[in-house]
């Protein structure tokens, strides 16, 4: 996993869910939204693959939307951010469950 830049959640009037705005680094000011997210587990090999749909709402000075859509590096970064979010959410749930 590469270093994850700072990001914030953003709202858009015509979207039903929050998006993410990257706040620093190479992709600063890029805004995107996750769609359907699936975790496919391979119990036999003790691995899991994170699959997700996304929509890029805004590029930045360096990359337009099409370049970002074609970028394996950016796709991997979105996956790393999503994994971090899911991991944090899971940690919070475990903390909440243990506090009762």
pTM of the model: 0.81
17 part of a folded domain: yes
Q: How many domains does the chain have?
A: 1
In a domain, 1, yes or no: no
Per-residue confidence in pLDDT tens, the chain, 100 aa: 568 999 999 988 887 788 999 999 999 999 999 999 998 998 899 998 889 999 999 999 999 999 999 999 999 999 999 999 988 866 665 444 444 4
Supply the DSSP string of 11-49, one letter for each residue: --TT-SS-EEEE-SSTTTT-EEEEEEEEEEEETTTTEEE
Residue numbers of the domain that contains 66: 7-98
Nearest CA to 37 among 1, 82, 7? 82
């Amino acid at each position: 996993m590469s270093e994850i830049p700072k990001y914030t959640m953003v709202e858009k009037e015509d979207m039903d869910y929050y998006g993410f705005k990257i706040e620093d680094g190479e992709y600063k000011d890029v805004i995107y939204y996750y769609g359907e997210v699936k975790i496919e587990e391979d119990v036999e090999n003790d691995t899991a693959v994170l699959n997700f749909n996304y929509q890029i709402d805004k590029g930045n000075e360096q990359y337009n939307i099409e370049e970002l859509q074609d970028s394996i590096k950016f796709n991997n970064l979105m996956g790393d951010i999503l994994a971090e979010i899911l991991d944090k959410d899971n940690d919070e749930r475990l903390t909440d469950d243990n506090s009762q």
